[in-house]
């Protein structure tokens, strides 16, 4: 708790408007990107970089905003060559940092031409923006992947004049202002490096633009690209719900920090699935049937809400330690419980306020989140703060040993914690105030073009106190440093609900389980399995772990019958109230063994149950404004 405070009190609050290129103090780099070979998964780029004789140090963007980690895909930077006045130049990589390139510039030269290629993953690779991004029909272009920038300047101070050639017949969408476009040749207005990297381009054969606002700026639109035309035709009411999302976010925050917002939504089974926030757009990617299939839609309903909230919480208001001057300086992730945790909570409630989820679906989602966190014995050694502090590594942790290692829990656990904050504000103010008031104060007026206002732990506590006086420092210190044993369920309980279990899975639970290709018995015997029986995780202290089963093993048979999800579920049901153990035949590193599970409590699936002793604040929280 002292380290948390000592780390933040010295930081300054900085407010400035980003990227007015006319005022930029640094060099102007021109960048011509040729994406016509995107279906072959190779992107070509040429740069013209001002230089002086001697060593020119160039950086390939390493720490990417929103990814909170050194994920710049330098291994996919290929075809790198430099020239001046038609002669090839010598270059060598820095021995201590693979993202730094030193080029020898001869006397008399004032400009270096760089040629480079970015090679896309050739098979489906998950991950963030460096995961799969190109198919036969579409491409998400992240500018940071196709550029180098000179050392010695902030990204705000370097101007880039970019152009992009896209495959014939493809359309494009981006928040980057266009100066002129001629067919598949697009030229963009000069922008700071900051705003260029913050403005990816979605280009595709099948791309649909849906306006989400009417009337004056700031406006918003949904740009959806897919591998097929059919995937772009959900029922009309789906578009209406995304219109609601813009209205509801406007009502929540009271002001916008963008000129025009583009939801860039990619529907493909051949790209990485994730969402990445920007000031004036988001790069969100789900499966091809993500809009037209009802189940897929339900499971991914909160993605665009989450990324949209980031325009306020994460881009405009950003922890001081994440607001680095360029992509080379490491980021400090200790306040991700605000950056990501509050975004996850607000994204979820806006999903319900926009009717993208029904209140029932919201509660089914929340029950899953709470039950999952209530079965994380890793909190015994790692507190919530450490999940944020170690985020740059934890994002890339395998699923094996998930519950003992802990994951990036500052998303889900802080959903519960910010709900708790919402409940406390409502109680302390006798119903006059809510977390919405915090959002207006912290993220709202005056609004305008993209800006950045940094904050510290103190600023969060002070603004909460402005909304409703309370021991917020004590609240957050406890939430961030305690070791459980269980999940923080106070928010659910104070909003009038309880986490309970019965023998019937919710729709959301079963859909989510199938979508993961897994079999979930976490809350009964403590097993999370692949569909074919491979053990992904065993929860320390629960029946399967105590019997001797561990991640990496494979369940071959249940009570003598070949393993399947149904066979396991049936065996757990049948053992209820008996004294006969469930027998699992398990393969481990070529050896077979039988393990006996003495578990007799039957199936357990999480639900939220109404607590009539308390007012139903949750239903108020979820109501459209």
Give the binding site for Zn ion (CB under 5 A).
Answer: 340
Cα separation, 439 vs 346, whole angstroms = 9
Q: Both tokens of residue 567?
A: 């066979």
Nearer to Zn ion, 340 or 414 (CB): 340
How distant, in Å, are the alpha carbons of 24, 91, 159, 323, 489 from that of 58?
19, 10, 15, 21, 49
Q: Both tokens of residue 339?
A: 């950056």
Shortest Cβ distance from residue 306 to Zn ion (Å)? 6
Nearer to Zn ion, 192 or 305 (CB): 305
Nearer to Zn ion, 276 or 553 (CB): 276
Closest CA to 555 of 542, 538, 574: 538
Nearer to Zn ion, 60 or 345 (CB): 345
Closest CA to 266 of 295, 225, 325: 225
Q: Are 300 and 286 in contact (CB under 8 A)?
A: yes
Nearer to Zn ion, 192 or 408 (CB): 408
Shortest Cβ distance from residue 414 to Zn ion (Å)? 11
Dmax over CA atoms of the chain, in Å, equals 88
Cα separation, 51 vs 54, whole angstroms = 9
Nearer to Zn ion, 337 or 520 (CB): 337
Shortest Cβ distance from residue 66 to Zn ion (Å)? 7
Nearer to Zn ion, 298 or 310 (CB): 310
Collapse the DSSP code of 227 into the 3-class scheme (helix H, G, I; strand E, B; otherwise coil) and give the result: coil
Strand 281-286 relative to strand 260-267, pairing: parallel
Q: Are 549 and 580 in contact (CB under 8 A)?
A: no
Strand 77-84 relative to strand 54-59, pairing: unpaired
79 φψ region: left (φ > 0), alpha (ψ -120 to 50), beta (else)? left
Shortest Cβ distance from residue 340 to Zn ion (Å)? 5
Shortest Cβ distance from residue 339 to Zn ion (Å)? 7
Shortest Cβ distance from residue 264 to Zn ion (Å)? 15
Strands, sheet with 149-150, edge to edge from the N-terminal-most edge strand: 91-93, 100-105, 54-59, 149-150
Nearer to Zn ion, 149 or 345 (CB): 345
Q: Tell me the torsion sign for CA atoms 176, 411, 389, 469.
A: positive
DSSP characters for 154-199? Answer: -TTT-EEEEEEE--TT-EEEESSPEEEEETTEEEEPPEEHHHHHT-
Shortest Cβ distance from residue 282 to Zn ion (Å)? 9
Collapse the DSSP code of 274 into the 3-class scheme (helix H, G, I; strand E, B; otherwise coil) and give the result: strand
Shortest Cβ distance from residue 311 to Zn ion (Å)? 11
Nearer to Zn ion, 340 or 459 (CB): 340
Nearer to Zn ion, 193 or 309 (CB): 309
Cα separation, 73 vs 604, whole angstroms = 43
Nearer to Zn ion, 140 or 164 (CB): 140
Shortest Cβ distance from residue 310 to Zn ion (Å)? 6
Measured between its terminal Cα atoms, the distance across the chain in Å is 37
Shortest Cβ distance from residue 296 to Zn ion (Å)? 20
- Residue 13 per-residue DSSP state: P
Collapse the DSSP code of 347 into the 3-class scheme (helix H, G, I; strand E, B; otherwise coil) and give the result: helix
Shortest Cβ distance from residue 277 to Zn ion (Å)? 6
């Amino acid at each position: 708790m002292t380290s948390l405070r000592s780390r933040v009190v010295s930081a300054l609050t900085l407010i400035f408007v980003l990227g007015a290129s006319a005022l930029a103090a640094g060099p102007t780099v021109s960048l011509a990107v040729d994406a016509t070979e995107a279906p072959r998964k190779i992107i070509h780029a040429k740069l013209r970089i001002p230089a002086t004789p001697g060593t020119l140090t160039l950086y390939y963007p390493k720490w990417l905003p929103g990814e909170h980690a050194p994920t710049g895909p330098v291994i996919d930077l290929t075809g790198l060559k430099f020239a001046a006045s038609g002669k090839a130049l010598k270059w060598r990589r820095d021995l201590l940092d693979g993202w730094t390139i030193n080029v020898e510039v001869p006397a008399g030269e004032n400009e270096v031409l760089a040629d480079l290629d970015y090679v896309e993953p050739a098979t489906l690779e998950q991950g963030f923006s460096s995961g799969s991004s190109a198919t036969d029909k579409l491409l998400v272009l992240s500018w940071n992947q196709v550029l180098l920038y000179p050392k010695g300047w902030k990204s705000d101070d370097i101007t880039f004049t970019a152009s992009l050639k896209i495959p014939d017949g493809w359309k494009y969408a981006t928040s980057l202002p266009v100066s002129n476009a001629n067919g598949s040749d697009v030229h963009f207005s000069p922008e700071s490096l900051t705003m260029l990297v913050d403005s990816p381009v979605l280009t595709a054969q099948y791309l649909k633009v849906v306006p989400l606002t009417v009337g004056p700026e700031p406006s918003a639109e949904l740009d959806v690209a897919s591998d097929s035309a059919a995937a772009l035709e959900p029922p009309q009411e789906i578009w209406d719900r995304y219109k609601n999302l813009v209205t509801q976010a406007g009502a929540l925050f009271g002001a916008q920090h963008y000129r025009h917002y583009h939801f860039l939504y990619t529907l493909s089974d051949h790209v990485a699935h994730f969402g990445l926030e920007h000031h004036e757009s988001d790069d969100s990617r789900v499966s091809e049937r993500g809009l037209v299939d009802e189940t897929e839609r339900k499971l991914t309903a909160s993605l665009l809400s989450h990324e949209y909230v980031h325009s306020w919480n994460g881009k405009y208001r950003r922890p001081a330690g994440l607001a680095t001057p360029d992509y080379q300086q490491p980021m400090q992730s200790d306040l991700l419980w605000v950056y990501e945790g509050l975004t996850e909570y607000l994204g979820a409630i806006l999903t319900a306020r926009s009717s993208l989820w029904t209140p029932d679906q919201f509660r089914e989602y929340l029950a899953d989140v709470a039950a999952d966190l209530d079965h994380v014995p890793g909190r015994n050694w790692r507190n919530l703060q450490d999940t944020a502090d170690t985020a740059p590594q934890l994002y890339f942790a395998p699923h094996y040993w998930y519950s003992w290692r802990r994951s990036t829990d500052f998303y889900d656990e802080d959903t519960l914690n910010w709900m708790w904050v919402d409940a406390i504000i409502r109680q302390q103010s006798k119903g006059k105030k809510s977390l919405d008031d915090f959002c207006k104060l912290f993220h709202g007026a005056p609004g305008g073009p993209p800006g950045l206002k940094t904050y510290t732990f103190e600023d969060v506590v002070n603004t909460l106190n402005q909304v409703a006086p309370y021991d917020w420092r004590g609240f957050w210190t406890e939430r961030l440093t305690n070791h459980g044993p269980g999940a923080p369920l106070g928010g659910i309980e104070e909003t009038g609900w309880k986490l309970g279990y019965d023998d019937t899975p919710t729709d959301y639970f079963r859909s989510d389980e199938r979508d993961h290709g897994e079999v979930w018995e976490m809350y009964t015997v403590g097993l999370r399995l692949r569909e074919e029986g491979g053990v992904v995780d065993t929860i320390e202290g629960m029946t399967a772990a105590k019997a001797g089963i561990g991640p990496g093993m494979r369940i071959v048979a249940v009570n003598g019958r070949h393993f399947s999800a149904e066979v396991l579920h049936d065996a757990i049901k049948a053992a209820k109230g008996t004294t006969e153990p469930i027998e699992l035949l398990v393969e481990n590193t070529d050896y077979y063994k039988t393990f006996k599970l003495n578990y007799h409590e039957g199936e357990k699936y999480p639900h939220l149950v109404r607590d009539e002793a308390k007012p139903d604040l949750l239903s108020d929280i979820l109501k459209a404004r």
